[in-house]
Amino acid sequence: MIHSIPKKYNCLIVEDEPIAAEILENFISRDVQLHLVGKCADAVHASNLLNIHQVDLMFLDLNLPVIKGFEFLKKLKNPPFVIVTTAYHQYAVEGYELDVTDYLMKPIPYDRFLTATAKFKHLMEAEDALLEIADRDFIFFNSGKKQIKITLQDIYYIESLREYINVHTKTETFTFKMPISKVEENLSSKMFVRIHKSYIVSKSKIEIKSANMIQINGKKLPIGRTYKPSIEL
């Protein structure tokens, strides 16, 4: 029997309490799928590490010096999955509003850590399998345990909202948790074009085009400066 090699996920610990950071590092080291790329005690250092490394999962303490955990998270344009670690339960509601993967109360028991990382892995695996091109006419998006089939000709444009995308079609708008770059990789450049960091449009649905704007289905979408040279419609 051939066993597939388990996928590795890069982790970052942002924690200003040395003992708590050490415990998390120990827990991470017990999991062959988790690889620690960095450990830091404040948001500034964390921001630098996020620029250097491709981080899949960040363990984020909320009570950080200078910039608090949630303030830091709100400023990130494309945050990784986040497991919050804190001694204060009153932050839970805000955490769920920011769509954190899980919320660990200190001191963190190992079995609770395992539950949180299992949840993260499930989300990552779902994201990895989100796109399956069956043929050139339609695309499958996996949403939880369901597969949603969308006909390519029905798509007007795709909009990125943090870690989510909205797929605007003739009939309705679908929302999926995934980066817009993942969709772009799987769409034909003959049919679709990226016009902005937040927008991919269907070429056939363009109604009006100017130097800075494209209109589709009555909606005006901006053309990003860096995308102008590569846009051929």
Is residue 157's pLDDT more than 80? Answer: yes
Which sequence spans correspond to the domains of the chain? 9-128, 131-230
For position 125, what pLDDT does the model report? 76
For position 25, what pLDDT does the model report? 98
Is residue 80's pLDDT more than 80? Answer: yes
Candidates 2.40.50.1020, 3.20.20.20, 3.30.460.90, 3.20.20.70; CATH matching 131-230: 2.40.50.1020
Q: Is 195 helix (H, G, I), strand (E, B) or coil?
A: strand
**Residue 185 host element (H or E):** helix 180-185
Is residue 57's pLDDT more than 90? Answer: yes
What type of residue sits at position 90? Answer: Q
Percent of the chain exceeding pLDDT 90 equals 51
For position 147, what pLDDT does the model report? 78
156 vs 66: which has the higher pLDDT: 156
Select from 39, 37, 36, 75 the least CA-distant residue to 60.
39
SS (H, E, C) 112-180: HHHHHHHHHHHHHHHHHCCEEEEECCEEEEEECCEEEEEEHHHEEEEEEECCEEEEEECCCEEEEECCH
Candidates 1.10.1040.10, 3.40.50.2300, 3.55.10.10, 3.40.640.10; CATH matching 9-128: 3.40.50.2300
42-56, 71-85, 86-100, 194-208: least confidently modelled range: 86-100
Residues 63, 91 contacting (CB under 8 angstroms) = no
Is residue 1's pLDDT more than 80? Answer: no
The predicted model scores a pTM of 0.57
Strands 81-86 and 57-61 turn out to be parallel
Q: What is the pLDDT of residues 81-130, one digit of tens each?
A: 999 998 877 665 565 567 788 889 999 999 999 999 999 998 887 666 55
